[in-house]
């Protein structure tokens, strides 16, 4: 399946030619038939002699309906560009050519229609005229085929030229990321709401959950038709009619997009590389009001250039488009810009970043460098550039930021995050520096709690910090509840070992009524006391109450033996067994309750398990 649009000046015979090729009248509105003028998009289909199945989007040629023309040409493979031999090149011929060139069109056949109304010499002159007009554009060098729909001459030659064009085009790629820009919606009795559009980017299936953006209406594909044939699966690129479950027609509009949930996000700002049309007679500035066209959407827009204040005819520039309402766009999508006051197409080009960052200070000065890199990148290189620009990107976000959720080449892949190498080196170095400083200041402490280390390293994102530490197993290890450098170990000097022994003897000699934590620090120094707490030699029972690990184990033994003899014990009885006072017994019992050793039932304590 291939999708081909028409283009060309009003009344040059586009619709008549399509009816001759397909047997289908693409003019579907009563007003169109009454006026003999295409107003909105028309649709037809046929199969070429070489077996190419083609869906045709017939666009209006009148300048008043250029917005409808733009809705039809944004997602197509190729173009049948129509020029009447009896009239030659006209204003809308030039505007349609400019639009196609800005959209990146490279595959076209020129149908020189109404050839029966002029002599052969005129046909040849018109062909030379058209060839000169399209030279230097994406359509340059396209085959020019004289035809007459009325006399049915040249039709076979045109079909052969279309086949050759499609062979050059190549098969469309299935990127696993389907999108259908809606160009029509209607209701069918007994079926519900049906929308039509051109499917690009991926495959859709019946019963598949989808969402209509930008509004976010969740629905499913109840049925699919292509060229009035029911399908279970539709593949890109093809014209499709989708029967959507649970939606009213009033909830939908031209420009909406049917997509797979999570793969696209609406956006109101676009960083672009634009080029002005060659026929513009004034420099393009950001002072005008514009209409932007993306897919089948038409939306009011403002323009802000990065490096210049205005752009002359046929020149390029980087800019940010600020849209009045959201559209569904991605990197390397094309757009068109029309000047509202002048009613003319003035520029268009390529979307480089559909979700650009807010720019303040130095970030704006470097933005043009980022956009230059994107402008020369392939679609496969965009994900890495996205990470390089932002520093850190959740891998799941790459599907809507850059069109893929695969880890990009050249980035550092953490568990769920992609990090730019320079950012990774900077952040991991900050973690190492913070730990090294802590170890130097507190040599008798095993390490730092993770939250303290994150603050010291200046990393606000807890998820990022956790995944960075996970990746640093050759440099940083978890030691119980703290983190330390792999090279760090607590070692006591001979004097510190002697001081430790004195402290332990003092606290053990006091039984279960030991000196306060404050007094221990005053006597032996904070570094040694904290080192013993950190290593587990001392255990903090309450705010100002510590025991040695040996003494805590003895307390558990005495309580267990007493319970075995007497059953559940009161706090008073435990106080007697430990030969201490209530001041120490109650905090110790609360500690043991919290540790899961004992359990309180009324006035009694029983062992757990």
pLDDT at 364: 79
Please give the Cα distance from 213 to 256 (Å, whole number): 6
Asked if residue 144 and residue 27 are part of one domain, the reply reads yes
| 3-state secondary structure (DSSP) of residue 386 | helix
pLDDT over threshold 80, residue 238 = yes
Specify the pairing of strand 192-200 against strand 233-234. unpaired
Range 456-482 average pLDDT: 94
Mark whether 599 and 457 lie in a shared domain.
no
Half-sphere exposure in the Cβ direction for 137 (13 Å, CA)? 28
pLDDT for 60: 61
Evaluate whether residue 599 is within a structural domain: yes
Q: Is the pLDDT of residue 67 over 90?
A: no
Q: Calculate the average pLDDT of the chain.
A: 90
Q: Is 587 exposed, middle or buried (0-12, 13-18, 19+ CB in 10 A)?
A: middle
Interior/surface letters 10-24, b for 16+ CB within 10 angstroms, e for the rest: bbbbbbbbbbbbbeb
Per-residue model confidence as pLDDT tens digits over 409-443: 999 999 999 999 999 999 999 999 999 999 998 88
- pLDDT grade for 26, boundaries at 50, 70 and 90: low
The reported pLDDT for the residue numbered 75 is 63
Same domain for 99 and 154, yes or no, is yes
For the segment 33-56, the average pLDDT, to the nearest whole number, is 71
| Overall average pLDDT of the 278-293 stretch | 91
At 582, the pLDDT band (50, 70, 90 cuts) reads very high
233 band by pLDDT with thresholds 50, 70 and 90 = very high
Q: Of 238, 259, 280, which one is at a domain's C-terminal end?
A: 259
Query: What pLDDT score was predicted for residue 29?
Result: 37
SS3 323: strand
pLDDT digit string, tens, across residues 123-149: 999 999 999 999 999 999 999 999 999
> Are 331 and 216 part of one and the same domain?
no
Which of these three, 214, 237, 259, is where a domain ends? 259
Q: Is 222 contained in some domain?
A: yes
Task: Tell me what the mean pLDDT of segment 478-497 comes to.
Answer: 87
Q: Do residue 293 and residue 322 come from a single domain?
A: yes
Tell me, yes or no, whether 46 and 141 share the same domain: yes
User: Residue 503 is part of which domain span?
Assistant: 494-607
Look-up of token digits 């959407």: 297
Domain tally, the chain? 5
Residue 360 falls in which region: left (phi positive, over 0), alpha (psi -120 to 50) or beta: beta
For residues 351 and 164, give the distance between their C-alpha atoms in angstroms, rounded to a whole number: 30
Domain containing residue 325: CATH number: 2.40.30.10
């Amino acid at each position: 399946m291939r999708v081909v649009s028409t283009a060309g000046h009003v009344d040059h015979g586009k619709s008549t030619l399509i009816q001759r090729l397909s047997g289908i009248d693409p003019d579907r509105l009563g007003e169109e038939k009454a006026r003999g003028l295409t107003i909105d998009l028309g649709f037809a289909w046929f199969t070429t002699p070489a077996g190419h199945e083609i869906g045709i989007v017939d666009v209006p040629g009148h300048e008043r309906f250029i917005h409808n023309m733009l809705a039809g040409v944004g997602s197509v493979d190729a173009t049948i560009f129509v020029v009447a031999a009896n009239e030659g090149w006209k204003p809308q011929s030039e505007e349609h050519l400019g639009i196609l060139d800005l959209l990146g069109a490279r595959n076209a056949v020129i149908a020189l229609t109404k050839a029966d109304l002029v002599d052969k010499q005129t046909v040849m002159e018109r062909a030379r005229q058209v060839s000169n007009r399209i030279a230097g554009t994406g359509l340059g060098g396209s085959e020019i085929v004289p035809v007459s729909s009325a006399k049915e001459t040249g039709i076979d030659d045109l079909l052969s030229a279309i086949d050759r064009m499609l062979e050059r085009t190549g098969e469309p790629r299935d990127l696993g990321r389907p999108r259908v820009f809606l160009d029509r919606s209607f209701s069918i009795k007994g079926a519900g709401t049906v929308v039509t559009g051109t499917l690009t980017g991926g495959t859709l299936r019946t019963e598949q959950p989808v969402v209509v953006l930008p509004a976010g209406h969740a629905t499913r594909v109840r049925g699919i038709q292509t060229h009035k044939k029911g399908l279970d699966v539709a593949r890109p690129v093809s014209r499709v009619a989708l029967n959507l479950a649970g939606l009213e027609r009033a909830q939908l509009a031209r420009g909406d997009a049917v997509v797979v949930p999570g793969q696209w996000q609406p956006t109101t700002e676009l960083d672009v590389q634009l080029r002005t049309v060659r026929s513009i007679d004034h420099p393009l500035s950001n002072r005008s009001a514009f209409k932007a066209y993306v897919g089948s959407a038409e939306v009011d827009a403002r323009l802000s250039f990065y490096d210049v204040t205005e752009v002359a005819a046929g020149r390029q520039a980087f800019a940010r488009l600020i849209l009045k309402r959201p559209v569904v766009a991605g990197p390397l999508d094309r757009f068109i810009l029309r000047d509202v006051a002048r009613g003319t197409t003035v520029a268009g080009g390529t979307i480089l970043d559909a979700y650009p960052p807010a720019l303040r200070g130095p970030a704006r000065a470097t933005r043009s460098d980022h956009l230059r890199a994107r402008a020369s990148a392939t679609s496969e290189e965009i994900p890495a550039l996205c990470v390089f620009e932002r520093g850190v990107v959740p891998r799941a976000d790459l599907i809507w930021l850059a069109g893929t959720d695969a880890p990009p080449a050249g980035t550092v892949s953490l568990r769920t995050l992609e990090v730019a190498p320079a950012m990774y080196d900077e952040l991991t170095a900050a973690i190492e520096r913070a730990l090294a400083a802590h170890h130097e200041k507190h040599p008798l402490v095993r390490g730092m709690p993770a939250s303290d280390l994150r603050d010291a390293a200046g990393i606000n994102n807890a998820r990022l910090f956790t995944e960075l530490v996970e990746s640093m197993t050759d440099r940083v290890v978890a030691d119980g509840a703290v983190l330390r450098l792999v090279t760090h170990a607590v070692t006591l000097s001979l004097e510190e070992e002697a001081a430790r022994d004195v402290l332990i003897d003092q606290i053990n000699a006091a039984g279960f009524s030991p000196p306060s934590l404050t007094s221990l620090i005053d006597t032996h120094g904070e570094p040694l006391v904290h080192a013993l707490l950190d290593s587990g030699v001392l255990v903090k029972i309450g705010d100002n109450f510590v025991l040695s690990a040996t003494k805590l184990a003895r307390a558990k033994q005495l309580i267990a033996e007493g319970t075995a003899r007497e059953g559940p014990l009161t706090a008073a009885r435990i106080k007697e067994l430990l030969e201490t006072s209530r001041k120490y017994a109650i905090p110790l019992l609360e500690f043991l309750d919290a540790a899961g050793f004992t359990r309180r039932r009324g006035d009694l304590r029983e062992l757990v398990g």
